[in-house]
Amino acid sequence: MALLPQFWLAVALGIAGVFALRISWARPSRSVPLNVLGWGSILVSSALSAWAHGAWGVAVQSLFAMAAALLLLVPSIASAPTWKRKPVDRGVHASPDTKGSMALGRRAATFVITGPVALFGALLLALALRAMLAAGGGSEADANVLVLACVPIFWGILATILLMMERRRTQLSVLATLTIIAVPLTLLAG
């Protein structure tokens, strides 16, 4: 099988995306434009390789991107300092106003936001896609399968995006934006 030029463009985009993410994550604070550029390049490279050679193209193209990531991270691993950390106090905190209960509340909020709330957001987005497919003349069975296939994918992507955010306000604004986009699409198309 001859590899199409689109495949090599997809490989280059995947490697460029890895480079952009590495540059972004090496900074003291995250760079949103570089993160978007990196993830966008990887997404476009996957779509382009899928268009050129299907699942085989995506699998082979991702090997190039993973190899680039490995080559970029090996020097960082080798030069990483060994830190001496103080042992963590894992004692039980009796008072509800202690720092431990606050950390437990933050963890519970993170679980709720990235678990059931993100699942609901992914479901809304998948239902919007279903409504658009059905309105565009797609069959009912295809539209239902689209929802079943997209919900776990969207949920994983959305949970990862939410976990990368440092502030609750940003997490909630992403979920609100997703809802504002998905609900009207569902209602207009369906």
What integer is the mean pLDDT of 146-175?
A: 92
Predicted local confidence at residue 25, as pLDDT: 86
Over residues 52-98, the pLDDT tens digits come to 888 888 999 999 999 999 999 888 777 766 666 666 666 655 555 55
Predicted local confidence at residue 190, as pLDDT: 61
Over residues 90-119, the pLDDT tens digits come to 665 555 555 556 678 888 999 999 999 999
Contacts of 168 (CB under 8 A, 6+ apart): 109, 113
What integer is the mean pLDDT of 142-146?
A: 88
Distances (CA, A) of 141 to 28, 87, 134: 48, 56, 10
Report the alpha-carbon distance of residue 49 to residue 34 in Å, rounded.
22
The structure's pTM equals: 0.52
User: Cα(first)–Cα(last) distance of the chain, in Å?
Assistant: 43
Predicted local confidence at residue 96, as pLDDT: 53
Residue from 46, 45, 22, 52 nearest 34 by CA: 22
Domain boundaries along the sequence of the chain? 5-76, 111-189
pLDDT of 134 higher than 90: no
